[in-house]
A and B are shown apart, each in its own frame.
Chain A
Amino acid sequence: EVQLVESGGDLVQPGGSLRLSCAASGFTFSSYAMSWVRQAPGKGLEWVSITSGSGGMRYYADSVKGRFTISRDNSKKVVWLQMNGLRVDDTAIYYCARGEVVAAPLDSWGQGTLVAVS
């Protein structure tokens, strides 16, 4: 069974940093691209970042470019999102999700972790 478990969400002050983790199991992790998608309270979905299966390709939404960094360790089956320079409008539930390749549909999602910036 495919499982994605996010952790690391917390309450942080504006300008602070946080690192989110997403632990994967139940599939060949290195064969899948991994994305982070967020959802502010009461709002819609916003894609944040994606890394290819090898980690060689990384893309970011304009709203987080230069502040957030995505990375992965295929031996540990983990993908991270390092968030620096956090702003109030970064407050959201952050989901990790997998796709067969970059640009492929996100076919499995984690349960999300809450980041509150205040």
Chain B
Amino acid sequence: QSVLTQPPSASGTPGQTVTISCSGGSSNVGSESVNWYQQTPGTAPKLIIYGDDQRPSGVPHRFSGSKSGTSASLAISGLQSEDEADYYCSAWDDSLKGFVFGTGTRVTVL
């Protein structure tokens, strides 16, 4: 089940900044680190943000994460055509004892 809520879509022109929200609860986003995954069609998800705001090696600096209370956000600045993908937030849920994923946001570069 998707316990974290994301907007279904977001879009921007090349060079713009797109922000995706992720709303959860006290047992997940509010108390655990938020991670973000990028998935392009036909491929496996890829971790792009972990620990709320950390980038794995090799992930461009234009991807940034933040969190406040039970909400988190992913920002993509200097949007590029290759950023067209589905983005999912995720966190461990202390009550469910498992990962919860967001509903997913499709980013379109106009």
A45 vs B45: C-alpha distance when bound (angstroms)? 9
- In chain A, positions 6-65 with a C-beta closer than 8 Å to chain B are 35, 37, 44-47, 49-50, 59-63
In the complex, which range does the number of interface residues on chain A fall in? Answer: 20 to 34
For B24, list chain A residues within 8 Å (CB).
none
In the complex, which range does the number of interface residues on chain B fall in? Answer: 20 to 34
Tell me which of A106, A110, A111 contacts B35 (CB under 8 A): A106
A95 vs B98: C-alpha distance when bound (angstroms)? 16
Beta-carbon nearest neighbor of A63 in chain B: B1
Contact indicator A107/B92 (Cβ below 8 Å): no
Contact indicator A110/B47 (Cβ below 8 Å): no
Contact indicator B104/A105 (Cβ below 8 Å): no
For B56, list chain A residues within 8 Å (CB).
107
For B102, list chain A residues within 8 Å (CB).
44
Contact indicator B44/A35 (Cβ below 8 Å): no
A47 vs B35: C-alpha distance when bound (angstroms)? 14
Asked whether any CB of chain B lies closer than 8 Å to the CB of A80, the reply is no
B49 to chain A, nearest CB (A): 9
A24 vs B56: C-alpha distance when bound (angstroms)? 21
Asked whether any CB of chain A lies closer than 8 Å to the CB of B70, the reply is no
Chain B residues in contact with chain A, CB under 8 A?
1-2, 32-33, 35, 37, 39, 43-47, 50-51, 56, 86, 88, 90, 92, 96-104
Q: List, sorted by A's number, 8 A–B pairs whose CB atoms are closer than 8 Å.
A: A35-B99, A44-B102, A47-B98, A60-B98, A95-B45, A103-B92, A109-B46, A111-B44
